[in-house]
Structure 1
Amino acid sequence: MTAFFASTAAVFLLLLAGLSLGATAVAFVACMPLFVLFSPVLVPAGITATVLASVLMAGGTSGVTAFTMFYWIFKQITGKDHPPILG
């Protein structure tokens, strides 16, 4: 009985996946002329967005690194950084 329900559910999910794949293919074919038409705008916009995101991420990472280094130096100078206990 359980195998029957499992196989029925599997067939239903396989059918649903096929319908989803077919709808995605139809939507892709329908939108392709728009992508080709607007590609002179979309490609530079995508490149600009990628470069901007990379620069912002690098800047943020550098800022966090600098803050961590300054905090470590501050703890060393004030004597609040205790050496780890060995053993």
Structure 2
Amino acid sequence: MFFQIIQGVFTGVTALALLALAGITLGGSAVGLAVSTPFFVLFSPILVPATIATTLLTTGLTSASGFGLMAIRIIWMLYKRLKKKGKSKVPGVSPEAPESEPTSGG
């Protein structure tokens, strides 16, 4: 019982501390936004095209990476499927050897 009371007290104190930190963060963000808004308005002819260019560049790189990874994954799945069947039609890939003991040829 005593341990549960101590645990509840520590939980309450922690929750209040985190709530206070959240309030301080919200207040700081509001002040920062109020201070920086005139600068955003003043520099908007530079910031807006830069933001658009950065967004397009990031979107292009992300989609190209995703398409490339997906293509590699599809090729790998096809390779595994062909290798599993034992009828590989991929040049340079031979089917697996049968699971038997090798015979001596000599």
How does the TM-score come out when normalised to structure 1? Answer: 0.66
Match of 1:18 in 2: 23
Larger radius of gyration: 2
* 1:40 equivalent among 39, 45, 49: 45
**Superposition pairs of residues 3-14 of structure 1, within 5 angstroms:** 3-14=8-19
In structure 1, how many angstroms separate the alpha carbons of the residues matched to 2:47 and 2:95? 52
Deviation, 1:40, is 0.9
Structure 2 runs not aligned, ≥5 long: 80-87, 97-106
Q: What secondary structure sits across from 1:27 in the alignment?
A: helix
Equivalent position amino acid for 1:76 in 2: K
Which structure: greater helix fraction? 1
* 1:76 equivalent among 89, 92, 98: 89
Deviation, 1:56, is 3.1
Deviation, 1:24, is 0.8
How does the TM-score come out when normalised to structure 2? Answer: 0.56
Percent of matched pairs sharing the same residue: 35
Q: 1:54 to 1:11 in 2, by over 3 A?
A: closer
Structure 1 runs not aligned, ≥5 long: 83-87
CA RMSD of aligned residues (A): 3.0
The count of corresponding residues between Structure 1 and Structure 2 is 80
CA offsets, 1:33-65, max 9 Å, x none? 011111111111111112222333444455553
